Copies of this chain bind each other. A is one copy, B any other.
Amino acid sequence: MELKLELEPTNQKPKKQQRRKREKYMPHAVPLVLPPCRICGKLASGIHYGVNSCEACKGFFRRYLKRKEPFQCTKGGNCVIDQSSAGSMCSGCRLQKCFSLGMSKEGIRQGRYTLQERTNAIIEMKKRQTERCSTESREDNCNHYLENEMQSSPFDYPSLSSSDMQSDSASSFSCSQNSSLTSTSSIFPPSSTSSPSSISSSLGSSVIKSNKPDPQILKNMKTEYSKIPSELDSSTNEIQQHISCNDSSSSTSTSEKHSQNSTVSQLLFPLTTENIAQDSEEHSTIEKLMEGYKELKPFTKNLSDEEIQALLSDGFQKYSQKVNLFGSMDPLPANVYNEIFNITNMDIDGRMKIFDLIRQELVTVIHEYVRFTHGIPAFQNLPSKDQASLLKAARLEFFLLLGYRSLDPETGMMVSYTGHVLPIRQFCAYAPGDMSTSWLEVTRHIRHLQLHPKEHAAMLGICLTFTDRCPLEDPKSVEKIQTCLLGVLQNMLRVRYQGASGRHLARIMDVFIKLRGLNEEFLMVYKKICQDRFIIQHLPELLQFLFDE
């Protein structure tokens, strides 16, 4: 009788009662009959992560975003996702469907592109570019990467309600006056690298030494890559043919193609009768690439996955024990650990040890890095300035990609280039907390790819030959190299995965995108840190490696 809360008459039992089974939850009475969930077909509750979807699918995608580590289908990846399968949908395929319908964090994304669609777009772009490179007079010889303003983006999502616009943009696309721009510059955010004139001594000297244009090698290159000549204006007709083949819809069935001596890339290198020789050509490209790849000798190179894992686990145990000595800080996050480390004056020693390690390793590493590029077709024909720029711009991504087997994404332990086992946090001491997390995540993704060495080598080559990461004197040649490597990679994937190769390539492209993201992050943060007196004093080599002056 005396409850004052009765002013709000609802809060008593009756409220609890009405709170039983309700019908479908709709945040608001939905005036219009909205389309059903695009993913599962159930009643949608709104637009979530960019896609009209139901509460369930929304939650599913949200959980994915939190828990990372994409789900894997165990049944071939072709499970049906609809309301009939509610409650027990295959998570892997459901996630794939979410992706393919364009779900993404914040729904902001540049369009509703699938990984696969994105990859296709990238590849198509590259194709068109090569075409243009070949057909165009070289009057626009300026740097690709300086021009990426105003480019009409191929990623602008075609609005469903304006299909006329779509064709508009499609037609304007091929005759765009800005058409010489790279596609990658719109896919990857523009890099914030500095001018190419400043070259670190250790890196620069290696490059210069190795860059005296050896006429013999150059000749070999010409032989091997006669279809992609160093003279841009010649022999374009063949490539043009490829393109015209490819411009038509891609609906031609694979089996048809097989009659034409296939397993060879069709998207990038559609077969024509003149392309019969490509197989062997590609083979020698791979061989050369692998020679360069052999030059890279990270400690883990010749270890099996199990051996590496044993190393890492062992190291992790020892590390944990060590950490326990400092006040049992084991479960504490890195920054706390580092703080303790610093304050107890143990840090300086610890850090110095690592710096010494880094210093030693850098010398070896950089030489091997340069030698790897000798295996990249025509790379040595590039202007030496470009070679240096590329090496510099790709350094971080290259080594992250190179070392993916050496890092346990679960424990964060890594085997260094010369075989020291340590937590990556010590490498990331100066980075914001989530930098090492990103590194781990990318590594997880790369591991997920289950790469063969040849694929790995090709990826490393591709990684080195993005034209949008730095200003270049001759971006077209670089572009061409990358296109070639992409073709090689694609063929390998096709041989290995057949129909699923598209998805795999998509995953690989995604890794590149993620790597690029890390690189950006890295540049932003480390630019500032390089001014640190301590580093300047104790690790000038690192600065030379990391920065441009």
Contact = CB atoms under 8 A, between A and B. Distances in A.
The quantity of this chain's copies bound in the complex is: 2
A189 B432 CA distance: 32
A2 B328 contact: no
Interface in A1-51: 1-9, 11-17, 19-22
Contact of A532 (B270, B327, B531): B327
Interface in A319-360: 326-329, 332-336, 338-340, 342-344, 347-348, 351
A259 interface: no
A257 interface: yes
B254 A336 contact: no
A6 B328 contact: no
A155 to B, nearest CB: 11
Contacts of A21: 108, 110
B502 A116 contact: no
Contacts of A157: 16
B11 A502 contact: yes
Nearest to A535: B343
A154 B484 CA distance: 68
A335 B335 CA distance: 5
Nearest to A503: B8
A253 B1 CA distance: 7
Interface residues of A, number: 85
Interface stretch (A213-221, A242-250, A474-482): A242-250
Contact of A257 (B2, B251, B351, B525): B2
A425 to B, nearest CB: 10
Contact of A332 (B17, B329, B525): B525
A304 interface: no
A245 B158 CA distance: 69
A98 to B, nearest CB: 19
B1 A339 contact: no
A254 B7 contact: yes
A496 interface: no
A499 B6 CA distance: 9
A267 B11 contact: no
A302 interface: no
Contact of A1 (B1, B19, B250): B250
Contacts of A329: 528-529
B342 A343 contact: yes
Contacts of A347: 342-343
Interface string A227-269: 0000000000000000001101111111001000010011100
Q: Top 9 nearest A-B pairs by Cβ distance?
A: A335-B335, A3-B250, A1-B252, A2-B270, A4-B266, A342-B342, A327-B531, A2-B266, A343-B534
Given A7-B499, A327-B532, 10 more contacts: A1-B245, A1-B270, A4-B490, A6-B253, A7-B254, A11-B120, A11-B502, A16-B157, A17-B160, A20-B109
